[in-house]
Amino acid sequence: MSRRGSFWASICSAAALVAACATAVPRPTEGDQARAAARWPDLGPTDLDDGRALYVNRCSGCHALVPPKSRPPMAWPHEVALMSERAGLDDRERELVTRYVVTMSEERPASPAPAE
């Protein structure tokens, strides 16, 4: 099962598909990190990137990655909980994936908000 995951992850990193994958599964920005840190006070500096890597590697083996934006933020914890068993995620991995998809499903400014 994990081999299928890495197969799709390698497809996703193939040059021709980078743009499509990046759109559906955006990389967290500093603004995303700031919003997530407000939501999860214990957020680590690599949590969102780690969550994204887990999402790409472990959630793409059976179906196309579901873009975070396709669900409202509060729908995601339930979706990830349902899928964690299928994806073989432990509690920590599930939490990281949840943090990533919840954060990236929120309405995000097109560019980082100016510092106040």
Which amino acid appears at position 13 of this protein? S
- Measured between alpha carbons, how far is 62 from 71 in angstroms, rounded to an integer? 19
Nearer to ligand HEC (CB atom), residue 35 or residue 61: 61
CB of 21 to ligand HEC, least distance (A): 15
Rounded Cα distance between 13 and 98, Å, is 22
Q: At 7, list the tokens.
A: 């197969």
Q: How many residues does the chain have?
A: 116
Q: How many CB atoms lie within 10 A of CB 24?
A: 17
Q: How far is the CB of 15 from ligand HEC (least distance, A)?
A: 25
Identity of the residue numbered 4: R
Smallest distance from the beta carbon of 100 to ligand HEC, in angstroms? Answer: 10
Which residues of this chain interact with ligand HEC, rule CB under 6 A? 58-59, 61-63, 66, 79-80, 83-84, 86-87, 89, 97
- In whole angstroms, the minimum distance from the beta carbon of 61 to ligand HEC comes to 5
Nearer to ligand HEC, 1 or 18 (CB): 1
Instruction: Decide whether 24 or 111 has the Cβ nearer to ligand HEC.
Output: 24
Cβ contacts of residue 114 below 8 Å, gap of 6+? none
Measured from the CB atom, the residue of 92 and 113 that comes closer to ligand HEC is 92
